[in-house]
A and B are shown apart, each in its own frame.
Chain A
Amino acid sequence: DAGVTQSPTHLIKTRGQQVTLRCSPISGHKSVSWYQQVLGQGPQFIFQYYEKEERGRGNFPDRFSARQFPNYSSELNVNALLLGDSALYLCASSRTGGFFQETQYFGPGTRLLVL
């Protein structure tokens, strides 16, 4: 089975622009979570979605938004990009996203550079 996939792998944007990142979870997994990992730090939780509904949100501004589609894939959108948004954006999938004790599996990430 394929693992979690993300696209694109790398992205360069300028301040003020908007970006959309995509994620496809492992087959059979219905929950997707998004994380931001700044260089030298651990991943920080942004959103979790399950069955197309937002289940949880981290401490990120409203410029960050996401959605999940009927096939359980997900998009993360960031508007009005700032230099500080430069990071590795990781997507993680799990079966239920929290009903049971379960492991999250990560995709390869999208490295975003904002100039």
Chain B
Amino acid sequence: EDKVVQSPLSLVVHEGDTVTLNCSYEVTNFRSLLWYKQEKKAPTFLFMLTSSGIEKKSGRLSSILDKKELSSILNITATQTGDSAIYLCAVEVPRDNFNKFYFGSGTKLNVKP
């Protein structure tokens, strides 16, 4: 069965700290891996990763995919209280005529002032 596992489940850090969130997957057919940030309701898109070893970067956030290890990490440097959210990892798996997205349970990040 296709599945996505995220760790840790929750994390408490102080402003200025650097955090690393993990996502591992076991799927029958991989197309891409996506990271989302969910603050209140709507998950907002952060990154899409398709190739191993190529880092995607946006400000203080960066992410990289390791297809050999079937995993990805999301790094946040110099964390701010506004980074407090649930970070979701999703893997896109092509099916017969559509792409199905499998989500992990998320990592809840709490950044304290």
* Contacts known (A42-B103, A44-B103, A88-B41); A101 close to B95, Cβ less than 8 A: no
Given contacts A42-B106, A43-B43, A109-B42, whether A103 and B48 have CB atoms under 8 Å apart is yes
From residue 79 to 115 of chain A, which have CB atoms closer than 8 A to chain B? Answer: 88, 90, 97-98, 101, 103-109, 111
CA distance A103 to B90 in the complex (A): 11
Let me know if A43 and B88 touch, CB within 8 A.
yes
Q: Does A45 contact B (CB under 8 A)?
A: yes
CB distance from A57 to the nearest CB of B (A): 10
A28 within 8 A of B: no
Question: Which residues 31-50 of A sit at the B interface, judged by CB distance below 8 A?
Answer: 31, 33, 35, 40-45, 48, 50
- Docked complex Cα distance between A44 and B95 (Å): 16
Does A15 sit at the interface, judged by CB under 8 A?
A: no
Q: CB-nearest residue of chain A relative to B45?
A: A103
- Closest Cβ–Cβ distance, residue A89 to chain B (whole Å): 10
Instruction: List B19-66 residues whose CB lies under 8 Å from chain A.
Output: 31-32, 34, 36, 41-45, 48, 50
Given A107-B42, A108-B41: A42 touches B105 (CB 8 Å cut-off): yes
B42 and A90 contact, CB distance less than 8 A: yes
Contacts of B104 in A (CB 8 A): 42
Q: Do B44 and A106 have beta carbons less than 8 Å apart?
A: yes
A105 engages B98 (CB within 8 Å): no
